[in-house]
């Protein structure tokens, strides 16, 4: 007679479930804050945490309203560099040639006060780029008329100093054929509102959503050899190498109605591969296009308007495209796209939840089309689900990338949440695997950054900012322990020579548990609890298998962790 057992193993203690995420609970979070000077106490928020990026073994934090006590420039803005190995200590990043408050070049004049340096950040192994969308360029058109054009970005190459960025160059649209530009159309450009670095081809992408009466503009600039940079001068001639520069104002097929004049093209920016070649595409949002329904565009790196593919929003005023996230969710080798609409109003069961938010999930097919397959809607009024999105990488080591979605303004700011979602071969699992909350950080979830290992334990961690409290929380991942079990008995048949007083047959069952994870090193304090349940799917009156010692069908055990544990149980069948 073959033995058939139905059992259930439930693991608890330091892991809640085999498939759950293992972010540290709030009492174990680490916090990054900027250093304050006794001589110059900050009265206004510096917006520390407004933007986040990872550069090598450092987390970059933008504080666009920051003011250094000994700086001749008022509220210049700062990029902070927080080295992982320095244990929650951050230093100001100094871009070379950034010390002058005002710079004159030809008939132009730069003013760096309130420039918002660090409002946007991007980095790769060699480069750091920081946007300063309110850097002011006062331009004389040669006819005694001056125009003030805002916006700029600084890019530097990684140097030997922790706090100094070498070979700094300033990018600004006001120096692109500045003598022939329509200054009035660039008057509110905010060049540097978003920045990105593409790998294939190597280019710098910078947006200016205020250009051309707030229709917006996008610039695609090649990253060239740094031999052309002269660090002795803040500007070279030309200001930067403008050959092979893509510059897109708006496609010729755009209508000229009044809504398009305020559509904010370039509000959000991302890089991904959505074509059949190796080159990456540029993804930008236009949150107020089409009567405020919004849209997202995908185009090639040369900004060819004929390459544009458009994804349209649904609801008026939802701010479709306020956040973008490129990620391969189902591990099919193709980039997928998440689009946030944090002002989406949810109407459900007779309730209206204003600004609850929504995230649309688009999957790329092998024909390189994007299909909207899944949607996540907010459940809290004013929460703005989808304000920020982040690719977390494979947090739980199951072979699929995972996602974080912020809900920073629940009940219009009284509380905040971060929802963690797991990827799978079928797409995103829409039930959050973990919810992160803290009562002390107002506006928690303004910006998110994943894909870095802060404590070097082999697991990717998460950074979450709160600009209202000027804090960045580092949420560490604890190891995900992979538990393998084997359940076996001494004989494939029930032994007839083992009987109890009631003539019920008995036998020995062996349960072995193996811990399999190369990055997990257990300590003497780690325990594991399991529950073994016999005849799991049967009603109690129909159960036939019992533990011999207790005459019950459930057995719990709590033990210290080791790489391999085996326990023998004496069972009987009636």
At 267-292, the pLDDT tens digits run: 999 999 999 899 999 999 999 998 89
Which tokens hold the place of 463? 């950074």
User: Cα 443 to the chain's mean position, in Å?
Assistant: 16
CB 50 within 8 A of CB 465: yes
Q: State the maximum Cα–Cα separation within the chain, in Å, rounded to a whole number.
A: 112
For residue 450, which of 405, 487, 489 has the smallest C-alpha distance?
405
pLDDT given for residue 220 in this prediction? 86
The four Cα atoms 226, 134, 266, 449 give a dihedral, to 10 degrees, of: 70
The CATH classification number of 482-573 equals 2.60.40.1460
Which long-range contacts does 157-160 make (Cβ < 8 Å, 24+ apart)? 157/126, 157/127, 157/226, 158/55, 158/56, 158/125, 158/126, 158/127, 158/128
* 346-376: pLDDT as tens digits: 998 899 999 999 999 999 999 999 999 999 9
Cβ atoms of 366 and 373 within 8 Å: the answer is no
Look up residue 140 and give its two tokens: 């004389």
d(CA 325, CA 285): 12
What distances in angstroms separate CA 354 from CA 191, 324, 344, 359, 413, one per listed residue? 32, 21, 7, 15, 14
Residue 572, CB-side half-sphere exposure with 13 Å CA sphere: 16
Q: The whole model's pTM is what?
A: 0.84
Three-state DSSP class for residue 533: strand
The closest of 193, 218, 226, 229 to 121, measured between CA atoms, is 193
Name residues whose C-beta falls within 8 Å of residue 519's C-beta, 6 or more positions apart in sequence: 457, 458, 459, 479
Per-residue pLDDT of the chain (574 residues; tens, 9 = 90+): 223 333 343 333 333 334 456 799 899 999 999 876 544 555 678 999 999 999 999 999 999 999 877 777 888 899 999 999 877 789 998 876 555 544 444 555 677 889 999 999 999 988 899 999 998 877 666 666 666 667 888 887 766 555 666 666 777 765 554 434 566 666 678 989 999 999 988 888 999 998 888 888 888 888 764 433 333 333 333 334 444 566 665 555 555 554 477 899 999 999 999 998 999 999 999 999 988 999 999 999 888 877 789 999 999 999 999 999 999 999 999 999 999 999 999 998 899 999 999 999 999 999 999 999 999 999 999 999 999 999 999 998 899 999 999 999 998 888 999 999 999 999 999 999 999 999 889 999 999 999 999 999 889 999 999 999 999 999 999 887 777 788 887 666 666 666 555 555 677 888 888 776 666 666 555 677 888 888 877 787 787 788 877 777 788 887 776 667 888 888 877 7
Tokens coding 406: 């912020």
Distance CA 168, CA 156 (A): 4
Q: State phi, psi for 274 to the nearest 5 degrees.
A: -130, 30
Structure tokens at 516: 């399999």
Rounded distance between C-alpha atoms, residue 391 and residue 421, angstroms: 10
CA quadruple 436, 437, 441, 445: dihedral sign: positive
Domain boundaries, the chain: 482-573
Q: Position of tokens 């803005």? A: 77
pLDDT (tens digit per residue) in 39-50? 455 567 899 999
């Amino acid at each position: 007679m073959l033995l058939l057992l139905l059992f259930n193993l439930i693991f608890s203690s330091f892991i809640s479930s085999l498939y759950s995420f293992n972010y540290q609970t709030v009492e174990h979070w680490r916090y990054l804050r900027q250093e304050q000077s006794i001589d110059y106490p900050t009265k206004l928020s510096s917006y520390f945490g407004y933007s986040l990026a990872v550069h090598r073994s450092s987390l970059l934090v933008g504080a666009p309203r920051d003011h250094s006590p000994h700086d001749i420039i008022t509220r210049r803005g700062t990029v902070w560099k927080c080295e992982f190995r320095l244990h929650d200590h951050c230093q100001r990043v100094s871009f070379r040639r950034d010390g002058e408050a005002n710079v004159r070049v030809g008939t132009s004049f730069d003013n760096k006060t309130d420039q918002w340096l660090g409002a946007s950040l991007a980095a790769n192994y060699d480069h750091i780029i920081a946007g300063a969308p309110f850097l002011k360029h006062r331009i004389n058109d040669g006819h005694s008329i001056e125009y003030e054009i805002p916006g700029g970005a600084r890019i530097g190459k990684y140097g030997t100093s922790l706090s100094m960025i070498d070979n700094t160059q300033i990018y600004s649209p006001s120096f692109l054929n500045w003598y022939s530009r329509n200054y009035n159309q660039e008057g509110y450009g905010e060049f540097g509102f978003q920045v990105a670095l593409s790998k294939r081809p190597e280019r710098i992408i910078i947006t200016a959503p205020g250009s051309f009466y707030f229709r917006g503009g996008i610039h695609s600039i090649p990253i060239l050899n740094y031999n052309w940079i002269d660090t002795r001068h803040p500007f070279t001639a030309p200001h930067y190498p403008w050959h092979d520069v893509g510059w897109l104002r708006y496609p010729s097929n755009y209508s000229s109605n009044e809504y398009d004049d305020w559509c904010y093209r370039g509000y959000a920016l991302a890089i991904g591969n959505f074509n059949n070649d190796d080159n990456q595409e540029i993804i930008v949002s236009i949150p107020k296009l089409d009567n405020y329904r919004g849209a997202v565009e995908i185009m090639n790196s040369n900004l060819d308007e004929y390459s544009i593919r458009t994804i349209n929003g649904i609801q008026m005023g939802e701010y479709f495209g306020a956040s973008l996230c490129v990620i391969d969710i189902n591990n099919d080798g193709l980039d997928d796209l998440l689009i946030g609409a944090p002002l989406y109003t949810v109407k459900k069961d007779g309730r209206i939840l204003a600004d609850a938010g929504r995230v649309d999930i688009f999957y790329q097919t092998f024909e390189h089309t994007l299909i909207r397959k899944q949607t996540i809607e907010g459940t809290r009024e004013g929460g703005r689900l989808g304000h920020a999105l982040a690719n977390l990488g494979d947090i739980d080591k199951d072979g699929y990338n995972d996602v974080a979605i912020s809900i920073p303004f629940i009940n219009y700011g009284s509380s905040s949440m971060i929802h963690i979602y797991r990827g799978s071969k079928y797409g995103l699992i829409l039930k959050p695997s973990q919810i992160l909350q803290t009562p002390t950080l107002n506006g928690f979830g303004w910006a998110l950054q994943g894909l870095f290992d802060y404590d070097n334990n082999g697991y990717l961690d998460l950074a979450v900012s709160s600009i209202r409290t000027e804090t960045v929380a580092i949420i560490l991942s604890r190891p995900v322990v992979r538990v393998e079990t084997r359940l076996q008995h001494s004989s494939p048949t029930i032994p007839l020579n083992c009987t109890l007083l009631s003539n019920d047959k008995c036998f020995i069952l062996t349960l072995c548990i193996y811990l399999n994870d190369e990055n997990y090193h257990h300590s003497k304090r780690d325990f594991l609890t399991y529950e073994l349940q016999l005849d799991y799917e049967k009603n109690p009156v129909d159960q036939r298998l019992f533990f011999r010692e207790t005459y019950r069908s459930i057995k719990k055990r709590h033990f210290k962790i080791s790489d391999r544990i085996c326990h023998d149980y004496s069972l009987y069948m009636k």
